[in-house]
Amino acid sequence: MMFSIMPIENVPNEAPKKRSEIDALEQRFRLLFDSSPDAIFVEDTDGYVLDVNTEACRLHGMTRDQLVGKHVLDLVPPEARDEVSREFPRLAKGELDGVEGFSFAADRGPIPVELRTRPIEYAGKAAILLHVRDISKRRQAEEALHRSEEQLRHAQRLEAVGTLASGLAHDFNNLMTVISCYSDLLLHGLEENTRLHQDTQEIRKASNSAADLTRQLLMFSRKQIVSPVLLDLNSLLAEMESLLLRLIGEDIEVVHNHDPDLRSVRVDRGQIEQVVMNLAINARDAMPRGGRLTIITSNVVLTEAECRLDPDAQPGNFVCLSTEDTGVGMDEETLDRVLEPYFTTKELGKGTGLGLSVVYGIVKKHEGSISISSTPGRGSLFRVYLPSVESAPRQPSKEQLNLEKPRGKGERILLVEDHSEIREISERILTENNYHVESAANAADAVELFEKEADAFDLLFSDMILADTTGLDLAERLRAINPELYVLLTSGYMDDKLQLRLIEEKGYPFLSKPYANMELLRTIRRELDKRAD
Ligand code: ADP
Ligand code: MG
């Protein structure tokens, strides 16, 4: 009650009350100031810091006391100082609103920022209010967007090249069919161990290599025919040897170390070839001055404990295919990322960064796993594990197969092929091997031929892609007339997965172009012999 009788004009008693109000007000403003998501600086007109908020301290990794009194040039990266001191007068007047630049943090280095300034009066003097926004997250997002746009463009480019490649490969396969079939015929007609026989053999070999090349092209555009088969990796590697040697060049020694008792694997042949190719190409690139590539096969049992480290690995029986090189090797950082699509350390135009990601994709599809070890300067070891299968198929060698005589027994074949050279050579091969052949260039002609004496034909051998329909549709039409008719379809490429699936569903055999004479005869014989079973 004592205060109530105090006179109002009692100054000493009123002053403390006003101070606390002012303190509260200042606290409220300080709170707003410090809660700003932007860094705020108050600087004098010479650029010395008078006050900062909490975000400014965070941005520079300094306390308020450390920042106050610093000059603006101490807070930008050294290389930006000239420009900042040149532009400072305009900045101070607020003329450079929203410019982007860099702040410099002792602990983090340059940080991309956006600046806004206003001339103000502070404690009775002209000063500058500076808002600084950390835009590193935005920059990161922009860069990520830019990168993914680049990758998309890259993928589109690859897609275009793939389309081009598969079109080319298709036409090329037709030509190769003609070349290989005629050289087979020549070989057959020439006496062995003569000069002409040897020369013709060279043509045959070259056409095999050309067929390998188109297979690679089609693999690249993922349009080759896929089908898992029981396979002996050792024979696959043996068959790939000449291709590998050509690919790798002379400076690199290729050593094979195969387990003779290797178990079999159930794999898509083309895809596993691609795995080997990609690993070999990488090894080659890692040894620009030559070295040694060792290709190892072995049976491996993976235990629970061994699989614990790798989430992709499963315990069980595997065949391990390893490639070991004596090349440049990889550091930890590279090792970490090699399987990523588009990750490459090679210069533009040299690497696509797709090799190992394709390997990884294929291996995963086969329920296998991959492990990589490497030391910079000492080389790399890639291990690919593929689930193994109990029985080892003893695949008959090519020579053995060639001894068989898969000739006709006078059966009648309806041959449908729009490519005239292929039609002629196929007709000749079949006729010379005791088949009666009627041929047509399109489905309409084929139907006409067939309707005349439907029961007389044993087998339809047709190209898949005809001018007026597909080989599959033609087969269906003819089999509606005569359900006993056997069918063999062929094509240089198949990019229509649906058609492939339909062919599979119907159980029709498929012969891919280019085919060798023996392959054609063997396939047809096998189909016709099913009748006897
Ligand atoms: P690319 O070969 O097009 O670069 P890959 O996916 O095949 O793409 O390989 C990615 C990266 O992995 C390569 O750029 C390289 O840095 C590294 N790499 C792959 N294989 C080897 C190897 N045998 N030795 C050293 N580095 C390798
Ligand atoms: Mg590669």
CATH of the domain at 515: 3.40.50.2300
Helices (H) and strands (E) in the chain, counts: 17, 17
Ligand nearest 252 Cα, by number? 1
Nearest CA to ligand 1 atom 12: 338
Ligand nearest 158 Cα, by number? 1
Report yes or no on 404 lying in a domain.
Answer: no
**Does 119 share its domain with 243?**
no
Task: Give the separation between CA 25 and CA 28, rounded to whole angstroms.
Answer: 5
CATH code of residue 165 = 1.10.287
**Does 129 share its domain with 152?**
no
First-to-last alpha carbon distance for the chain, in angstroms, is 122
Ligand nearest 337 Cα, by number? 1
For 465, the domain range is 412-529
**Does 379 share its domain with 438?**
no
Report yes or no on 247 lying in a domain.
Answer: yes
Q: What is the pLDDT of residues 424-461, one digit of tens each?
A: 999 999 999 999 999 999 999 999 999 998 788 999 99
Distance 354 CA to ligand 2 centre (A): 6
Q: Which of 166, 192, 221 is the last residue of a domain?
A: 221
- Could you tell me which residues come within 8 angstroms of residue 103 by beta carbon, excluding any fewer than 6 positions away? 39, 59, 60, 75, 76, 110, 111, 113, 132, 134
* Ligand 1 pocket mutation, candidates 151, 282, 352, 381, criterion most atoms within 8 A of CB: 282
CB burial of residue 123 (10 Å; 0-12, 13-18, 19+): exposed
Distance 297 CA to ligand 2 centre (A): 21
pLDDT value of position 403: 47
Helix (H) or strand (E) segment spanning residue 169: helix 136-189
Task: Give the separation between CA 102 and CA 80, rounded to whole angstroms.
Answer: 8
Q: Residues 337, 256: contact at Cβ < 8 Å?
A: no
Residue 40 token pair:
């705020």
Q: Which of 221, 251, 267 is the last residue of a domain?
A: 221
Q: Closest by alpha carbon to 233, among 170, 171, 297?
A: 297
Distance 223 CA to ligand 1 centre (A): 24
Task: Give the separation between CA 390 and CA 395, rounded to whole angstroms.
Answer: 15
Phi, psi (degrees; rounded to nearest 5) at 199: -60, -40
**Does 24 share its domain with 43?**
yes
Ligand 1, residue 327: give the atom nearest the CA: 24
Residues lining ligand 1, CB < 6 A? 278, 282-283, 286, 325, 327-330, 334, 338, 343-346, 351-357, 380
Ligand nearest 284 Cα, by number? 1
**Angle, CA 253 vertex, CA 248 and CA 208 arms, to 5°:** 45
Ligand 1, residue 352: give the atom nearest the CA: 3
Residue ranges of alpha helices (H) inside 288-391 are 304-307, 332-337, 355-365
Residue 248 token pair:
């790798």
Q: Residues 287, 408: contact at Cβ < 8 Å?
A: no
Residue 203 token pair:
């043509």
Name the DSSP letter for residue 317.
Answer: E
pLDDT value of position 16: 58
Q: Residues 44, 52: contact at Cβ < 8 Å?
A: no
**Does 254 share its domain with 382?**
yes
Q: Please tell me the number of Cα atoms within 13 Å of 386 on its side-chain side.
A: 31
Distance 138 CA to ligand 1 centre (A): 31
Ligand nearest 376 Cα, by number? 1
Ligand 1, residue 278: give the atom nearest the CA: 7
- Could you tell me which residues come within 8 angstroms of residue 494 by beta carbon, excluding any fewer than 6 positions away? 223, 224, 225, 464, 500
Domain count, the chain: 4
pLDDT value of position 9: 45
Whole-structure pTM over 0.95, yes or no? no
**Does 104 share its domain with 48?**
yes
Alpha-carbon separation of residue 76 from 81, 94, 116, 136 (angstroms): 7, 18, 15, 15
Distance 324 CA to ligand 2 centre (A): 15
Q: Closest by alpha carbon to 185, among 193, 194, 177?
A: 177
Cis? peptide before 110, omega within 30° of 0: no
Q: Which of 330, 355, 389 is the last residue of a domain?
A: 389
Q: How does strand 436-440 pair with strand 369-375?
A: unpaired
**Does 16 share its domain with 124?**
yes
Residue 294 token pair:
């060792």
Ligand 1, residue 341: give the atom nearest the CA: 6
Give the other-Cβ count within 10 Å of 518's Cβ: 17
Q: Residues 341, 353: contact at Cβ < 8 Å?
A: yes
Residue 500 token pair:
């492939």
pLDDT value of position 226: 55
Task: Give the separation between CA 126 and CA 43, rounded to whole angstroms.
Answer: 9
**Does 332 share its domain with 251?**
yes
- What 3-state class would DSSP assign to 524? helix
**Does 129 share its domain with 149?**
no
Distance 288 CA to ligand 1 centre (A): 13
**Angle, CA 458 vertex, CA 453 and CA 462 arms, to 5°:** 95
Residue ranges of alpha helices (H) inside 308-419 are 332-337, 355-365, 398-403
Report yes or no on 226 lying in a domain.
Answer: no
Distance 176 CA to ligand 2 centre (A): 28
Task: Give the separation between CA 75 and CA 360, rounded to whole angstroms.
Answer: 47
Q: How does strand 412-416 pair with strand 436-440?
A: parallel
- Could you tell me which residues come within 8 angstroms of residue 181 by beta carbon, excluding any fewer than 6 positions away? 422, 425, 426, 429, 514, 515, 516, 517, 520
Report yes or no on 422 lying in a domain.
Answer: yes
Report yes or no on 432 lying in a domain.
Answer: yes
Residue 356 token pair:
């190992």
Distance 533 CA to ligand 1 centre (A): 51
**Does 258 share its domain with 198?**
no
**Does 242 share its domain with 380?**
yes
pLDDT of the chain, 533 residues: tens digit per residue? 333 333 344 445 555 568 888 899 989 999 999 999 999 999 999 999 999 999 999 999 999 999 999 999 999 999 989 999 999 999 888 888 888 888 888 788 899 999 999 999 998 999 999 999 999 999 988 988 888 887 777 667 666 766 777 777 778 888 888 998 899 889 888 998 999 999 999 998 888 878 777 766 666 555 555 567 889 999 999 988 877 887 788 889 999 999 999 999 998 887 898 899 899 989 999 999 999 999 999 999 988 877 776 767 788 999 999 999 999 999 999 998 888 877 899 887 677 777 888 888 788 878 899 999 999 999 999 999 999 987 544 444 443 444 456 889 999 999 999 989 899 999 999 999 999 999 999 999 999 999 998 788 999 999 998 888 999 999 999 999 999 999 999 987 766 656 777 888 888 888 888 888 888 998 899 888 886 65
Q: Closest by alpha carbon to 461, among 482, 445, 439, 494?
A: 439
Nearest CA to ligand 1 atom 23: 283
List residues bridging with 415 in a β-sheet.
439, 461
Report yes or no on 18 lying in a domain.
Answer: yes
Nearest CA to ligand 1 atom 17: 338
Q: Closest by alpha carbon to 106, among 145, 66, 141, 140?
A: 66
**Does 150 share its domain with 256?**
no
